[in-house]
Structures are given as C-alpha cells and as structure tokens.
Structure 1
Amino acid sequence: MTIGFGSTRRKEDARFIRGQGHYVDDVQLPGMLHGAVLRSPVAHARIVSIDTAAALQHPKVHAVITGADLGEQAWMPTMSADVQAVLATDKVRFQGQEVAFVVADDGYSARDALALIDVEYDPLPAVVDVRLALEPDAPVIRDDQPGRIDNHIFDWEAGDAAATAAIFARDDVVVIEQEMQFPRSHPAPMETCGAVADFDRVSEKLTVWCTTQAPHAHRTLYSLVSGLPEHRIRVISPDVGGGFGNKVPVYPGYICAIAAARMLGRPVKWMEDRSENLMSTGFARDFVMRGRMAATPEGKLLAVAVDVIADHGAFNATAQPSRYPAGFFSVFTGSYDVAAAHCAVTGVYTNKAPGGVAYACSFRIAEAVYLVERCVDCMAGELGLDPVELRLANLIRPDQFPYESKTGWVYDSGNYEAALLKALEIADYAGLRAEQAEKRSRGELMGIGLSFFTEAVGAGPRKHMDMFGLGMNDGAAIRISPSGTAQLSISVQTQGQGHETTFAQIVSAELGIATDDVDVIHGDTDTTPYGLGTYGSRSTPVSGAAAALAARKVRDRARIVAAAMLEVAAEDLEWTTGRWAVKGDPSQGASIAEIAVASRGPIELPLGIEAGLDAEAVYDPPNLTFPFGAYICVVDVDPGTAHVKVRRFIAVDDCGVRINPMIVEGQIHGGLTDGVGMALMEMIAFDEDGNCLGASLMDYLIPTAVEVPDWETGFTVTPSPHHPIGAKGIGESATVGSPPAIVNAICDALGVRHIDMPCTPSRVWDAMRSKGRPAQ
C-alpha cells in the first residue's frame, strides 16, 4: 500500500502500454459520418465564388457546408477578444484556412470530394514578414474589422521607461544591444486535433468528444457559437495524445463537426491529418526582439530594456490568461536583481495561421527568458567575464524573497545561487573549461553554455488572470465511499502528465488513503467541476491545490464525525496519517474508512453536519508560483559539416515540493528534448507568397533519441509559501531553460556573439565563415 508522495508507478500506464488508451479517433457511434475540410491553397485572396454542385453529386456525400451556410456561426470568438473565421466568407487570410466542410459516409470519400469543390480566388498580395506588415503600404489583412487601415493589433508596455532610459544614458555604464528572433514553432503532438459531435434532436443535447486540454472552456465557447444553452452541451476529452498548448484553442473543424451534426441529425467525426495540423493549428513564438542591457564595468547589472514585435498571424488567437495582451513577457528581467527595466510589445497581423498557443511554456515566458539569458552572455563577453561569474554576482538573493521585480511580478521564493552551484558541481565546470581549452588548442570546437531561468506558472489569481471573462480558478470534488475509498474529480485535463497518479497522491497524502484506492476523474464536463484546463504548468499549482483543500475539508468533516463516534470533543482529537485519535491516547481513534462508514450510519451527528464525507473546493490562488532552474549545456560542432551535437546537458530544477519525483524527471526529460528541437531544428517558415514550408515532418524536423544526450539532472527544493502543499509546477520549465543554454553553448564554441535559432548546419556554417574559419 502506497500513501503520500514518492516515485510510485503511474496508474494510467497500465492501459497505455497495452495499447488500450481511448482517443477521439477511437470513438465509433451508430450512423456516424465523417467530415473533411477544404483549405485555401493561397495565403491571401478574395473569394469570388464557391461552387459545391459537383461535390454534392458524389454518391457518398451528405452535405457540403460553406461560410454562407453557417450564417452567424461563420465567425467565432478567440481567446484574445478577437474573432476568427470558422469558414472563410469574404476572403482567405492564410494558406490552409478553412473554406468548406464536406460530410460523407467515410473519411476517404469526404477527402475525395474536396477536389470537386470549385473555388474562384482573386489573389491579393501577402505579407509574412512582421516588420513589413507594419509598413504603411502593407496589404490590410483584417479588413473585416470596421475602420481598420493597417495590421497593428496592440501596443503594450511594462516597467519604468524613464528610469531605464536614465541608466542607459549614464557615462559610467557598459551597454550591449542585440537583436534576435524566436522563430515560429509548432507543438506537433503525436495525436492531431479532432472531434466527434453528436446531437440528439429529442433532448436537444449536444455531446462533443474532442482533443482538448480545456473541456469546460470549450463547452462555454461551443455554447456561444452554436446558441445552445451550456447545460445542454457535454464535452468529453478522453485520452489525449499530447497537447503542449496545441489543444487549448477551439479550431474551426470542431465547430464544423458540431454544425454538421445538428444539420444532419447524425454523429459527425472530423480528424485532421499531420499536414493540416502543422499548417493551420496553433503555433507559438514568432517574435522579433531587440534587447538592451546596462551594467557597471565591474559586472553589476543595472537595467534591461526590450522591444518586441509579435507575429500573431491572421487572427489574434493568443492564449493569454493575464488581463494584458503581452503581460507574461514582462518577466524578461529573469532571475536578476536590476535597478530598472522596461519592455514594449507590439502585436501585428500577418498572412500566417493564428499563433500564440502556450506551447510548452507559460505564455511568452520562454521568449522572455531566452532574451535575457542571451543578453547576459553578450554582456559577459563585452566585460570579459565568465558567464558564471556574471550570473552569480546578480542573481536575486534568498533574503530578497518575496521579490518584486521591476515590472511588478512578485516571485514567491527561491535560492537561486544554490541551484546554480549544484549545476556547476554536477558538470565539473572547471574541468569542462580545462577540457575546452585543451580541445581548442587542437582546433576542435567545443562550447559550454549556461542559462538560469525563473518561470511564472499557475495561471489563476482572479485579480490578474482571466480568459473569456471566466477567471482562471479551478475546482476539485471528492466523494468518499462508505468503505473509505475515494473518487476525485478534477477540472484540468491530462495529456500525458500523469494526473491520475499525481492527484491520487495528493489525496493520499492528505487523507492517508492508499493511492490505489483513489480514482481520478477528468475530461468530462458532466462529471467534473468547472475549470479552465491544463496549460502553462497550472495543473498542480491550481487544480492540485484545489484537490488538497477539498481533501482537507474531508479531513475536517471526518474529525467531527470521529468526535461523535468516540464521544469526545473535536478539539481533543489529533490527526495522524489516515486517522483521528484522542490526544494522549492514540489507541482511541478511528481511521478514515471507519469514519466513512459511521458518517452514514446511526450515530448522532452535531446539528448542521450532514451525512457522508464528500467535499468540494474551488481554488483562487493568491499569486502565481515561480519555479526556477540552472542549466549547463556542452556542445561539439563539427568543423566540416557544421553539425551541432549536444554532448552533455545538466539540468537542476526547483519546482518546490516534488509530489512524484519520477514523473517530475520524466517531464524534465521531455522539456529538455523539446528545447533541443527549438534550438537546433524546429521552425515553421514561409516563402514571400505565404506558402508554409513546414507542413510535413520531412520539412518540420523534431528531435529523436539520436539527437539528445543522456540527461544529467539534479534538484533543489524551495517550497512555495502560499501553495497548500508547497508545489510550484514543473511541466514546462525545461522547455524554457534549455534553448538559451544550447544557443549560448554554440556561440561559445564558435566565438560569435549571436546566432539565431534554429541553429541549423547552414546557419552555423555561415557563423563559422563569418569568423574566418577555413572550410575543412
């Protein structure tokens, strides 16, 4: 019997390793039809006409739906108070945009019929360079918006511009400036997006199985778009084959399946293929950034400033839970104690698919950390200091926590120096530098890169966070059976993180019930409490806290029942694991199982105390949580091919209290691998006409076991002071910290100041030639 925290086996793996997971594409319903989406082959064009007659003559086609058929449902709200076309009506605005939806007996017939639809396009100039999109003569992409004359979406800033400028103007400071890009990348989950919609015309109840990380948020959006009352919509998210932010948004294919099911009175399934997923579903990043940093000649960091142009694609669909359009970028001061800081972010429309999902990081934090960590390395080079020395001299000290950054974030806790020193010890940093010097004497290219990051996770404080006007709180509900087993319902949705194990361990630790006796229910809006879903590492910081608080309510109720059972006052009882006992006489007590039986039995309970031990909690966190880490990367660059090999990677993370260390390690390994992909190979590129050049896994490369080293990990534990169990979240930290460490290592190997991601062999080759290194 396992109770509490520790590296227990994942409960959900029994079905996965046997191939018995149940995914959306496994859903089979009587009379089910299949849908396929016709997508625009061009990035920008007026739609002159859509002729569906030939497609409707196909013997297996039941319907062809266009934007005109959808009426008011042809547009849907996004997460950023914008609207997005479900099916294009006036014009197409990116290659791959949805134009029509075919419903047929089977998926093959539906896709065959797409070729029978005749769409006449009047091509328009496309703009995919975010800087060109701001030019006065740039084609206006969102001319559906009344009065719009350009592609500018918003301007947002944080910090103190005047104080920052004053430091940069001083004569006694050293200033570095570096422009860099964080390229558009894609989560590329193993399972693509899809939905099955079933509408019962008698009960007027809509059931939607879909690949979503946020079932309750989807239900609300489906209600807004369809006009159906929310209580008549049930959203089921079964097993999800990876999400990484890609499955947070509501995609047009979901709405089309719902519309078709209501129109035809039969279930309709839509599943996208890999090219559709890469071309048209939510992207991340795509920022042009200019960072400036000021320091004393001795190495005291004084000020940081950044200007960002953010490419949001054709529709502003950014998953941004704060009440500010680029709020999370303001953590760009990172882990350093500076005197002043200022950032300015401009959002822009381009002829690309909508971007801005929280891809394995917390809403722009990966970009912010990348910027500051690259700038720190540039400053170290300018001052002639070792990057470790500069970081150690400027990290926020333990006695400064809670620390309010110059952009208004309050970091909850940390011991940054301890984490960095531990990473240096594991790496044998002095030995690495000696090895590097010896290799350089032989002309070998070895690089050592560092990064230190602070994450901001647990989107939820209602005073700061909001999505669709719904806040960001999450609930948990516990039902205790008369035999003392438990069923925990949670509002977040798992996509491989091990929620069924981790959340069972939280309840186990609070109530002393064996983890095997705690079932975790998720992914069904009819059986789980309302919440905003899983992304931005918010599961444990928000929903995990709700689970802990609900369990404590159960424990408090059990104390009252136990007092009645033992005929003592409640205040005379003390809690030991799984048991309330009389103080000073531990032999007199009752276990949770015994109390559960008694709570529904004949004993007389105090007035106002109901039978049973069930409890619910909704958690509104007082603040975000701030996990952190120190990473060291060692790379070797082949001088003949410019191929980069990540030879060693040391990751020391602090996510507060670790519920299941094995699961924590697994999430770190995944995030580090993700970082290798972003740093070395992943980029969704476009040609000047807006054609997507990364629409297959032959063009959009993702890392495999061949490209990654054996990860070397360590940890420190600095509990969050405001979280009920001291946990901070870990799911995305490694993705935040790894790209700058890798790029810093490559720059160190080549002796160059900067190279943009992804550091492909061609880019590395150009950087080598820029240093005058002869070809080999």
Structure 2
Amino acid sequence: MTTVEERPHTGFGRTLRKEDVRLVRGKGNYVDDVRLPGMLHGALLRSPYAHAKINSIDTSAAEAHPKVLAVITGETLKGLGLAWMPTLSYDVQAVLATDKVRYQGQEVAFVIAEDHYSARDAVELIEVDYEPLPVVADAKKAMDADAPVIRDDKEGQTNNHIFDWESGDQAETDAVFANAEVVVAEDILYPRVHPAPLETCGSVADMDPVTGKLTLYTTSQAPHAHRTVYALVAGLPEHKIRVIAPDIGGGFGNKVGIYPGYVMSIVGSIVTGKPVKWVEDRAEHLMSTAFARDYHMRGEIAATKDGKILGLRVKVLADHGAFNATAQPTKFPAGFFHVFTGSYDLQAAHCTVTGVYTNKAPGGVAYACSFRITEAVYLVERMVDVLAYELKADPAELRMKNLIQPEQFPYTTKTGWEYDSGDYPKALQLAMDMAGYDELRKEQAEKRERGELMGIGVAFFTEAVGAGPRKHMDILGLGMADGAELRIHPTGKAVLRISVKTQGQGHETTFAQIVGNELGLPTADIDVVHGDTDQTPFGLGTYGSRSTPVSGAATALVARKIRDKARIVASAMLEVSPDDLEWEGNRWQVKGDPEQGKTIQEIAMAAHSSLELPEGVEGHLDATTVYNPPNLTYPFGAYICVVDVDKGTGGVKVRRFIAVDDCGVRINPMIVEGQVHGGLADGVGMALMQVIAFDEEGNHLGASFMDYLLPTSLECPSWELGETVTPSPHHPIGAKGVGESATVGSPCAVVNAVLDAIKPYGVRHADMPLTPAAVWGAMNGRPIRTDLAIP
C-alpha cells in the first residue's frame, strides 16, 4: 500500500479523528438524547394492510386515555391543509392516509401523550375500519392492464406508470448489435435493500408560540433542504425555522428525505404548544423508511469473438413503491444510472428506464451510492462476466482489454458523461498483483480437480460523485452548490462552518485538515460547525459522496480567500508590497529574505488591531464562498474477491478481498481506509444476505434483524487495501471522494466470485442475495426469486 507522510498537526495525513473523543466514550448527542421542558411524545399508527380503503377511524378510546393530549388523523390534517407533502421527486405523499393506505406500514394516525409508553399504548386503542383492496407487489405485474391503480388520488392516473427515461443513441446502438459477432443477454435483479443505519429516524419539534419560531432537532442528512421543504409544507416563514441535526448514527442515504413522522412532530407541537418528540422503533424503520435498489434489468452486450466489447443495451423496470420519493436530481428521474457504460471504451450504448408504482413503501433512496450508480455498475460488471462465460475468457483479461486508457482522459462516455481522470489498467494490475491472480487461478484449477468449489470474482467500477453542477442538478429547484464560512479569531483559532452534515465520515477532522493544509494552522485549533441551519451556510446536504468533492472544495477555496487577505495584512505589517511576499508552509515571508515573515496567527492578531491597512482593505480574517462544481468527480477501483462454496449446503465463505481504490488526493488515509472497510462489509451483506422481500399480499418480510440479515465480522475477511492516486484536474485539492465507492464495487465482485465457484454446474447467473438456499438452488437447477416470497 502506498504510504502517506504522517502530519498529525497540520495538513493531510493520518490524524486521529477529533470527533471520536466524544463518540467512542458515549458522549455523543443524538436526537433521542434531546430533553426539553414540558416535552411530549408522539407515536404513529401504521397500516397492517398493503392496500386498503379506509372506511372510518375511531379515536375515542385513545383520546380517553388519561395521559393522551391529542390524536391527529388525516382528516385533521386535511382541515389544516397539511394532508399531503411534496417528495424530492415532485410527487406528493400522504402525511397521514385519508382515502386509503397504499403500503404496509403507512402512517394513519398520530398520538401525542405525556410519555413514550403511553403514546404507544394509546395507538393500540385506535379502531380503523379497513376494506382490503387488490395488491400488486411485483413491479412487472404492476404494468399489467388489470393491475390495481395505486395512485388513484392523482388526476388522470389510470395505471401505475411513473416515467419513461432514456439515454444514449438507440439507432447507433442497434446498428452495432446488428453487426456484432457475439451478443449475450441476461435478466438481472438488484433486489430491494435497506440502509439500516444504527440509529433510526426521529425528531423533536419545538414551536415557540411567542416568537413563532420552530426549532426542529432531527435525523437529517440535509438540514437546509429540510428547512425549505417544511416551509413549503407547513406554510411557516423559512427564517422562522431552525433545523438542528445533532450526531447521527449513520444515514447511508436513508436520512435524506422527509418522513411523515418528522412532519407530525411539527404539527403536534403546533397543536399542543409544547415540544413533541417522535422516534421510531426498528420494525417501523425497516418497514416504512426509504429503501434502495429494486431494479429489474435486462442487459445485452455486443462484442467481437476475441472479446472486444462494442456496445451495451439495457432496459430497466424501476420499482419506486407507492409514492415516488426518490432523492434524485430533477433532470435525472432514474438517477445517474446512465453511467451504466462503466469503465469501458464502447462504440455505442443505449438505456431505457421505466418507473412504476407498487404497494411497497416509497423507495429509491441513494443508499451509499450516487443516485443509482451501484445498480449500473452491478449490471455492467455482471454482463462482462456473462460475456467472459460465453467466450470462455478470463474475466480479468477481458476487462483489461476493454478498459478506458489513461491517454483517453478526459473521456466522454456514449451517454454524455465526462470522466475527469484515471489510469484504469494500473489499478486493475495492482489488484491482480496484490491478489497473486495467476497463482489463485492455479489453486482454483487444482481444487476443482478435487471437487472443491473456489471462486475468484473481479470487478472494476467508476463512480460519479459530487452533485452539482447546479445548472444541471437540483432537487425541488434547489441547486446543488455548497457554501463555507471561515473565521480566524485574533488569537489564531479558527471556526469553519460547512453546509454538509456528517453522519460518521469524519468531517470535523478532514475539513479541519483542509483548512490546516491551506493556512498552516494546527487542526486542533480549528472547529468545524455543521448540522445547524442557524449556524451554517445553505447547502443541499450529505449524500452521493458530495462532502469532499463539493463542500471540501468550498473549504479549500474559502481558506485561500483568507490566505490572500492575510497577504495584504502581512504586507502592511512588514512594510512591503504584497507582490514581494511568498507563501511558505504556514507563513507569508519576504521573497529572498525568509527571516522576515508572519504566520497566520500573527496576522490574525494584527488584522484585529489598530494596524493601518491599505485603503479599501477591511480588517479581520473572515471569508465566505459558494462552490458550484464544474463537473462531477470520478473515483474508481478494481476489486478481487475469493470465496469458497460448500458443495452440500451452498454456504459461501469470503476468504479474501482485495480492494484498490483511486479517490484522487487523500486527505486522511486512515479515514479513507475506514470508509472502504465499511463499504466492503456493506457489499458482502448485499451480495449474500440482505433483501427486503414481500409476499403476494404485500406483507413486508424483513421488519427485524432476525429477518433482515446484516454482515458481521464473522462474514467479512481481513480486507487487503491498495491505492492509486489520480488527482481530479478540476477539484481545488484534487480529491474525488470515497465514501460510497466500496459499496458500489463490492457486491458485483462477491457475486462474480460465487458464480465463478459454481461455474462447473453450468450456472451463468443467479440473483442476489446469494444465500445458501439460492446458491444450492442454482447448483441444482432450481433458481429462486429472492425479492418475492410467492410460491
């Protein structure tokens, strides 16, 4: 692994995380830790049905509970004009159901009581007369002419169709396929999965009846966006809303959107005049908060007989659940899926995506990926392995033959994306060298002769992160740019205010390192403020690995503004022209006379003093900036997974995993490695065990961690990490972002390894998760569909 100089006090390098001082000692402050005077507690009644008409709701018994202060229904909200709220995809979603329920777990009523347990007890006293309706939980059947119409609340909606979207040149692609020597096709499912963060969702709303100001403590990855949406939903003046996101126990995209529970805590505080807390339990969280994936894909590859990939053609059916609540940029209803061309140099590509409603909870969250790129990478990497299977080619050699070459960058894909920089062959070769690839293939051959099943999976991925630019990307009309504010106090201590919200990535450390690297300040002297709309500049939040590519760039630029201003102050202190000064390490010094210089700390004190500055130059060292990225950044990586499969049970053991990542310039290698470790574990879970399944009545079959399995240290090997460094040419510090890369690249590497192991059984493809039952079924000609538990 490439080593990085350790600089524990300033600049880039392995610095211990500042936030861990409180977090590992149990001193974090989470939403459920918030205690306000007179605080009440809320609980939601949820539908047991996936699709049913609501004939009546009787709340009298709940209202008679001695500790209940209010019971709110959809009819109550209708009278307040709050029955429906906008989603992040310009759809609308019921806050509390009025006409009917459209998925199991949908919110029906909200109880406010003196304590949490009384609220929960009172929920059970509400009587609802449901009239069950036909259910469609299969995205393919949702498009049938006789399928029940889920969104009959929308004028003119006569079926379950949401959108059609396409990318690439269909005619050009069809021509390439018509002349190709080899064409392979495969139906591939990326099943519905759940981010399952450690902390569930919750909020504490406090509406001050005197000032009219709402303070909301909430589990939000995007506090400023939430504030704007609440202003739109509740009709409150935006400057009278303060959203505070304290410490968050993981988000992974799950806490980007707004949930009815958040809105109901606000309504509850308005109705009662007291603070109201709502925190969901694990079953509620798994059943009703945003899911991800659920893509039914058909992929086709056109190639020559010697393995040159010519074209890629894809059709996708996207299951968005009962409400289209996907957190996607407005222009991209299918997210960034049209990066489905992957890391390969193609002649043509074309893709179509159709979105449909089903009787499932709203899905489509950017779960640890940049807006559907995980699905796109999984598709293309499985298809490359399918091609290798048909050609009897080595999967690594086939990839090496087709990778985009270093001299082709910046590279414009056949779907219009411009990859900024990269050396793909170098990364793949490094992964193969670390793995001892040739030796592994020899070992595999020897084991197959003995009847043992060993598999080697190869995957190469290109991520697209850092949404904006805002001229192309917005959510609800809000452009994806981010602000940063930096203030250097007279004693040289600094406060940086950023618009992204950390949920475990180490922002308080890495952003302080960026400032320290630019100004020569010790990171211990730099506080990073985030997650409070009254204390931070506007921005669209943390998801899609936006933090370093966008807000990190804003941080570097605002620090450079301070440095440039400090140069003028230093020139006055040293009585020389600013042009006679040069920056060296942590000070402005006179060119040719390094003994004459001033540090940022000295300059900060002078900037606040009676020092006479040039006319028109203000004192103090404060600056603000808004960064609108000129392009996305494109981290990439090469992964190799080695598994052993038990012939009798289909059980899979991940023996080795080699991950080579290129995320551009690394700010803190230790944090990068931690992010990669987490993403790799995530990928193992999705590949082998994670799935939210439904039965034919739309019943959710994964409402606990007994049913929705997560990987542990027992399922994960000791990760073997490598790196290459290809700086982004347009990012101020050359960084590309890494928070989600491993989750993008690892599922396909694991699946490719398992299918490589059972290749002797004639298995070309099987869908995730590759549970022992699924693997055994594939080996014995009994494939199972993992997303629907329907006989």
| TM-score, L = length of structure 1 | 0.99
Match for residue 320 of structure 1?
A: 328
The residue matched to 1:102 in structure 2 has which SS? strand
Mapped to 2, the partners of 1:75 and 1:384 lie a distance apart of 55
Match for residue 294 of structure 2?
A: 286
Match for residue 24 of structure 2?
A: 17
Deviation at 1:604, TM superposition (A): 1.3
1:31 maps to which of 21, 38, 55: 38
Contact 1:322 1:328 in 2 (8 A): no
Tell me, which stretches of 5 or more residues in structure 2 are unaligned?
1-7, 784-791
Cα deviation code 1:136-183 (max 9, x no counterpart): 11000000000110000000000000000011111x520000001000
| Equivalent residue letter for 1:23 | Y
Cα deviation code 1:528-577 (max 9, x no counterpart): 00000000000000000000000000000000111111111111100011
Deviation at 1:640, TM superposition (A): 1.5
Deviation at 1:327, TM superposition (A): 4.1
Mapped to 2, the partners of 1:145 and 1:461 lie a distance apart of 32
1:83 partnered with 2:92: yes
Deviation at 1:115, TM superposition (A): 1.1
| Equivalent residue letter for 1:149 | T
Mapped to 2, the partners of 1:651 and 1:728 lie a distance apart of 17
- After TM superposition, the structure 1 = structure 2 runs for residues 530-679 of structure 1, keeping only pairs within 5 Å, are 530-679=538-687
The residue matched to 1:376 in structure 2 has which SS? helix
Mapped to 1, the partners of 2:223 and 2:521 lie a distance apart of 28
Mapped to 2, the partners of 1:210 and 1:363 lie a distance apart of 23
Mapped to 1, the partners of 2:472 and 2:86 lie a distance apart of 21
Deviation at 1:771, TM superposition (A): 9.6
Mapped to 2, the partners of 1:608 and 1:102 lie a distance apart of 60
Tell me, which stretches of 5 or more residues in structure 1 are unaligned?
none
Match for residue 420 of structure 2?
A: 412
- After TM superposition, the structure 1 = structure 2 runs for residues 292-331 of structure 1, keeping only pairs within 5 Å, are 292-321=300-329, 323-331=331-339
| TM-score, L = length of structure 2 | 0.97
Which 4+ residue blocks in structure 1 deviate beyond 4 angstroms? none
The more displaced of 242-251 and 69-78 is: 69-78
The residue matched to 1:494 in structure 2 has which SS? coil
1:203 maps to which of 208, 211, 231: 211
| Equivalent residue letter for 1:759 | L
The residue matched to 1:707 in structure 2 has which SS? coil
Match for residue 753 of structure 2?
A: 745
1:262 partnered with 2:307: no
Match for residue 159 of structure 1?
A: 168
Match for residue 763 of structure 1?
A: 774
Deviation at 1:770, TM superposition (A): 2.3
| Equivalent residue letter for 1:527 | Q
The more displaced of 534-543 and 462-471 is: 462-471
Contact 1:275 1:695 in 2 (8 A): yes
Mapped to 2, the partners of 1:612 and 1:634 lie a distance apart of 57
Match for residue 707 of structure 1?
A: 715
The residue matched to 1:705 in structure 2 has which SS? coil
Mapped to 2, the partners of 1:493 and 1:718 lie a distance apart of 27
Match for residue 48 of structure 2?
A: 41
The residue matched to 2:779 in structure 1 has which SS? helix
Match for residue 754 of structure 1?
A: 765
Match for residue 119 of structure 1?
A: 128
Mapped to 2, the partners of 1:641 and 1:387 lie a distance apart of 26
| Equivalent residue letter for 1:581 | Q
Match for residue 482 of structure 2?
A: 474
Overall identity of the aligned pairs, in %? 70
Mapped to 1, the partners of 2:64 and 2:615 lie a distance apart of 71
Contact 2:89 2:330 in 1 (8 A): no
The more displaced of 626-635 and 608-617 is: 608-617
Mapped to 1, the partners of 2:296 and 2:223 lie a distance apart of 33
| Equivalent residue letter for 1:104 | A
Deviation at 1:17, TM superposition (A): 1.3
The residue matched to 2:156 in structure 1 has which SS? coil
| Equivalent residue letter for 1:755 | A
Paired residues in the alignment total 771
Contact 2:43 2:123 in 1 (8 A): yes
Mapped to 2, the partners of 1:378 and 1:95 lie a distance apart of 37
Cα deviation code 1:78-108 (max 9, x no counterpart): 0100000000011100000000000001110
Contact 2:501 2:542 in 1 (8 A): yes
Mapped to 2, the partners of 1:281 and 1:396 lie a distance apart of 39
Deviation at 1:70, TM superposition (A): 1.1
1:57 partnered with 2:64: yes
Deviation at 1:322, TM superposition (A): 5.0
1:94 partnered with 2:72: no
The residue matched to 1:719 in structure 2 has which SS? coil
Deviation at 1:60, TM superposition (A): 0.4
The residue matched to 1:73 in structure 2 has which SS? coil
1:389 partnered with 2:397: yes
1:106 maps to which of 115, 123, 128: 115
Mapped to 1, the partners of 2:684 and 2:616 lie a distance apart of 58
Mapped to 1, the partners of 2:334 and 2:275 lie a distance apart of 39
| Equivalent residue letter for 1:101 | F
The residue matched to 2:82 in structure 1 has which SS? helix
Distance 1:322 1:724, change over 3 A: farther
| Equivalent residue letter for 1:762 | A
| Equivalent residue letter for 1:769 | N
The more displaced of 269-278 and 65-74 is: 65-74
Match for residue 135 of structure 1?
A: 144
Indicate the RMSD between aligned Cα atoms, in angstroms.
0.9
The more displaced of 66-75 and 650-659 is: 66-75
Deviation at 1:468, TM superposition (A): 1.2
Mapped to 2, the partners of 1:607 and 1:36 lie a distance apart of 61
Mapped to 1, the partners of 2:578 and 2:123 lie a distance apart of 70
Cα deviation code 1:574-629 (max 9, x no counterpart): 00111000111111111101100111111111222111010011100000000000
Match for residue 787 of structure 2?
A: none
2:251 maps to which of 243, 261, 275: 243
2:15 maps to which of 8, 14, 33: 8
Match for residue 356 of structure 1?
A: 364
Match for residue 334 of structure 1?
A: 342
Distance 1:729 1:44, change over 3 A: same
Mapped to 2, the partners of 1:323 and 1:551 lie a distance apart of 33
The residue matched to 1:448 in structure 2 has which SS? strand
Deviation at 1:68, TM superposition (A): 1.0
Mapped to 2, the partners of 1:326 and 1:571 lie a distance apart of 51
| Equivalent residue letter for 1:63 | A
Contact 2:330 2:476 in 1 (8 A): no
2:526 maps to which of 518, 521, 529: 518
Mapped to 2, the partners of 1:51 and 1:11 lie a distance apart of 52
Contact 2:464 2:633 in 1 (8 A): yes
Mapped to 2, the partners of 1:223 and 1:578 lie a distance apart of 44
